Amino acid sequence: GEPLAYILGRREFYSLSLGVGPAVLVPRPETETLVEAALERLSAQPGQRVLDLGTGSGAIALALRRERSDIDVTAVDIEPDALALARRNAAALDLELRFLESDWYAAVAGERFDMIVSNPPYVASSDRHFDGPLAREPRIALDGGPDGLDAYRSILAGSAGALTPGGQLLVEHGYDQREAVIALADASGLVCEAALDDLAGLARVACFRLRAA
């Protein structure tokens, strides 16, 4: 049951070779859909400020920074072991990012970002996959509470205070969570501009913009 990526200590994501270990979720191909959407939607203006919430191995943040050397990326995680690994990945790839230990927005309070991205924990606590394929990966990176939506509640509640006017928020979500995530976002003042499927044809990414005040 041990994920191959933990045995090898590496996984490829968006053409980057990343170090991975039991402190982080193994980067998954469906998350590349989020990276592609972010790159398409990010303003071409240099110096865009991007925040990755719950960066884990750093996969999303590193992929974005590799494709756009002009952007200013902050990646946060609540787990020191995950951050240590993400920092090592950045150093090995010679990519400059800011890494902060943070419970969602706590360490970036008062800052504003042009784009927030996140692949948060979104599996419902009672999901039977926790006894099978997901058993070896960190529960904190996967378990989204009773309905799997707890992380979205936190991320969305804080988003208006962390986005620039017209700023964007892009999240990965579970195959059956699109409508629920869009409804939560609407209640937080975010307009859904795109809802994307992953390469397996499953609902996977939602793209929002902060409604003008």
> Rounded distance, CA 24 to CA 188, Å?
29
Beta bridge partners of 143: 123
CB of 112 to ligand GLN, least distance (A): 25
**208 scored as a contact of ligand GLN (CB under 6 A):** no
Edge-to-edge strands of the sheet including 190-197? 98-101, 72-77, 49-53, 113-118, 163-172, 203-210, 190-197
Q: Residue from 10, 28, 41, 66 that binds ligand GLN (CB under 6 A)?
A: 28
Residue 170 to residue 168: CA distance in whole angstroms: 7
Q: Count the Cβ atoms, other than its own, within 10 Å of residue 67.
A: 15
Q: Which two tokens stand for residue 90?
A: 């950045």
Contact between 142 and ligand GLN per CB under 6 A? yes
The smaller minimum CB distance to ligand GLN, of residues 30 and 72, is found at 30
State in angstroms the smallest separation of the CB of 191 from ligand GLN.
23
Binding mask 43-62 vs ligand GLN (x if CB under 6 A, - otherwise)?
--------------------
Query: In this chain, which of 84, 123, 157, 192 binds ligand GLN, going by CB under 6 A?
Result: 123
Whole-number minimum distance, CB 143 to ligand GLN, in Å? Answer: 8
Look up residue 38 and give its amino acid: A
Residue 8 or 202: the one with the smaller Cβ distance to ligand GLN is 202
First to last CA, the chain: 50
Say which residue the tokens 């360490």 belong to: 107
Of the ranges 6-14, 45-53, 116-124, 188-196, which one interacts with ligand GLN (CB under 6 A)? 116-124
Judged by CB under 6 A, the number of residues near ligand GLN is 8
Least distance from ligand GLN to the Cβ atom of residue 122, Å: 4
Of 28 and 66, the one with the shorter C-beta distance to ligand GLN is 28
Q: Quick check: 122 binds ligand GLN (CB under 6 A)?
A: yes
Q: Which of 14, 34, 28, 79 is nearest to 195 (CA)?
A: 34
CA distance 211 to 64: 24
Residues 96-115 binding ligand GLN (CB under 6 A) are: none
Half-sphere exposure of 100 (CA within 13 A, CB side): 16
Residues that bind ligand GLN (CB under 6 A): 28, 30, 119-123, 142
